[in-house]
Amino acid sequence: MSRLPFNSLAYALLQAARIDAAVFAGQSLADNLLGRVDVVARPAVQDLVYGSLRAFGRGDFFLFRLLERPLPMDEIRALLLVAIYRLETRPEATHTVVDQAVSAAAEIAHGKFRGLVNGVLRSFLRQQEVLTAALANDPVAVAQHPDWWLAQLQKAWPDDWQQIVAAGNQPPPMALRVNRRRVGRDDYLARLAAVDIAARPVGEDGLVLERPQPVDRLPGFFDGLVSVQDPGAQRAAEILAPAAGSRVLDACAAPGGKTAHLLERADLDLLALDLKPARCRRVEEGLGRLHLSATVRAADCVKLDSWWDGAPFAAVLADVPCTASGVVRRNPDAKWLRREADIASFAQTQARILEALWHVLEPGGKLLYATCSVFPAENTGQIRRFLARHDAARVCHEEQLLPDAERDGFFYCLLEKRA
CB 389 within 8 A of CB 383: no
Determine the residue type at 176.
Answer: L
Does 206 interact with ligand SAM (rule: CB under 6 A)? no
Nearer of residues 301 and 316 to ligand SAM, judged by Cβ: 301
With binding defined as CB under 6 A, does residue 279 bind ligand SAM?
Answer: yes
Q: Which residues contact 360 (CB under 8 A, 6 or more apart)?
A: 249, 304, 308, 312, 313, 316
Residue 281 interacting with ligand SAM (CB under 6 A): no
Q: In the bound complex, what is the minimum distance in angstroms from residue 306's beta carbon to ligand SAM?
A: 10
Between residues 53 and 237, which has the closer beta carbon with respect to ligand SAM?
Answer: 237
Distance CA 270, CA 294 (A): 5
User: Counting runs of H as helices and runs of E as strands, what totals does the chain give?
Assistant: 16, 11
Q: Is residue 372 among the annotated active site residues?
A: yes
Please report whether residue 253 would count as binding ligand SAM according to CB under 6 A.
yes
Question: String of b and e for 238-276 (b: at least 16 CB within 10 Å)?
Answer: ebbebeeebbbbbbbbbebbbbbbbbbbbebebbbbbbe
Shortest distance, position 250 Cβ to ligand SAM, whole Å = 7
**Contact between 177 and ligand SAM per CB under 6 A:** no
Residues 183, 287: Cα–Cα separation, whole Å: 17
Looking at residue 391, the DSSP 8-state letter turns out to be T
- Of 59 and 242, nearer to ligand SAM (C-beta) is 242
Q: Is 252 in the site for ligand SAM (CB under 6 A)?
A: yes
Q: Is 240 in the site for ligand SAM (CB under 6 A)?
A: no
> Per CB under 6 A, does 18 bind ligand SAM?
no
Quote the least distance from Cβ 86 to ligand SAM, whole Å: 32
CB atoms within 10 A of CB 381: 14
CB under 8 Å to 153, separation ≥6 — which residues?
Answer: 145, 161, 164, 165, 374
Is 257 within any annotated ligand binding site? Answer: yes
Is the CB of 114 or the CB of 335 nearer to ligand SAM?
A: 335
Q: Residue 337 interacts with ligand SAM (CB under 6 A)? A: no
Burial class (CB in 10 A: 0-12, 13-18, 19+), 193: exposed
CB of 249 to ligand SAM, least distance (A): 11
Per rule CB under 6 A, is residue 257 in the interface with ligand SAM? yes
Closest CB to ligand SAM among 176 and 251? 251
319 labelled as ligand-binding? yes
Q: Which of residues 340-379 bind ligand SAM (CB under 6 A)?
A: 353
Catalytic (active-site) positions: 372
Site residues for ligand SAM per CB under 6 A? 233, 251-258, 273-276, 279, 300-302, 319, 321, 353
